Amino acid sequence: MTRRYFGTDGIRGAVGIPPITPDVVLRLGHAVGRVLRRSEDRPTVLIGKDTRISGYMLESALESGLNSAGVDVVLLGPLPTPGVAYLTRAQRASLGVVISASHNPFQDNGIKFFSAQGAKLDDAWELAVEAVLDEAPQWVDSASLGKSRRLDDAAGRYIEFCKSTFPSDLTLKGMRLVVDAAHGAAYHIAPKVFHELGAEVVVVGCAPDGLNINQGVGATHPELLRQTVLERQADLGIALDGDADRLQIVDHTGRLFNGDELLYLMADDRLSRGEPVPGVVGTLMTNLAIEVALRQRGVEVERAAVGDRYVLEGLARRQWLLGGESSGHLLVLDKHSTGDGLVSALQVLQACVRRGQRPAELLRDVVLYPQTLVNVRLQPGQDWKRHAPLQAAIHAEEAQLGARGRILIRASGTEPLVRVMVEADDAQLAERCAQRLAEQVRQVPVN
């Protein structure tokens, strides 16, 4: 079956346009509640959110919908997506809900769900919710309505959890870190985690006003982080995105390390300590150099579809612990059940502290292949997959690249975009090829 509301990471869109409207979200909450009550008489659902102004409106609608189906609600307030996943598991709740559009601008918002185990839910559950959405509501009687309460110390509990993933015999004392929370859900959490582990913390992107989330800051806009690291002569800069499940790191020279490099660094650190790393899961976007370097270390590499849920599925199937995306979604399953920017940052920091080396030194044997990524905005009705001239152009470019590189063209799971990625052993070759293909996508007619 085709999902009508759910994408690769929950439901997401522009606020005020269905499905991100109060009426649809109320119906969504009601549908989720009815699905939960098929297996549980009195479910409890945790709701967290990022700092978007629309979060107030959507939180109220979702809460009402759940209550109307006989579900109790615990409000967490602003909290990173992985924090909601952790507390769902720790509180033995039936479900966790996050109101966030992650790295998107404030005009967008979304809703994603976590199971009682703190993991993303599968397609079958999402399809069951969509089926109930098409049915008439079935309100419970007044005596059976759900209740709501607020968990006042949610942030503090999550801070302690993050700190518990850092070895107790290590400290960040002597390190100066710039921490950029993208004016998002970790604005009141990330600085405290690193400070309480001993670091001197310089804060940017930690003053949300409801409208400035991800605006020129955070993991998707690391320019300010790089500038601040250089100005303050910091050891490292740590950037999260709006819901803090994505990580980028900048070193003292201003060099940016993406998710591929950080994934290799974490695997290499475990190998250096004699811990087994049978394999890691990347995605179709993972740089070929990472795959080559890991295989040389005896580590198997599997590529999943783009999206952290598919990386997680691959890890679960292979019973491996490490996986991630180039964008900075990293999974460390013996530390957390989902991707967590703060936990991942602490994994990188512990490697640097324990081995007394900077990230560039730990990655000196890995040289990434140049990649060019061009995003092309789609118009309604542009069927790029069936456009014969575009497919012919792709085949021609692949023949020209040969063994020197690869091409990946895919639709975004969260935005109306086609992502054109070309990877080659020569940066100019990758750039020219990607731009030619992007132009071909733009020329696809509207049906």
| Residue 349, both tokens | 């920091």
CA distances from 215 to 106, 142, 391 (A): 8, 44, 36
Question: CB burial class (10 A; 0-12, 13-18, 19+) of residue 298?
Answer: exposed
Residue 148: active-site member:
no
Query: Residue 307 has what DSSP assignment?
Result: S
**Strand locations in 138-253 (E):** 148-150, 176-180, 200-204, 236-240, 247-251
Greatest Cα pair distance, the chain, in angstroms, is: 70
| Residue 379, both tokens | 């118009």
In degrees rounded to 5, what are phi and psi of residue 284? -60, -20
Strand order of the sheet with strand 95-99? Answer: 11-14, 108-114, 95-99, 44-49, 72-78, 148-150
Q: Are 84 and 161 in contact (CB under 8 A)?
A: no
Catalytic choice (54, 68, 94, 102):
102
Q: Residue 356: how many CB atoms within 10 A of its CB?
A: 7
Is 57 strand, coil or helix?
helix
| Residue 304, both tokens | 């999943």
Q: Are 49 and 77 in contact (CB under 8 A)?
A: yes
Active site residues: 102
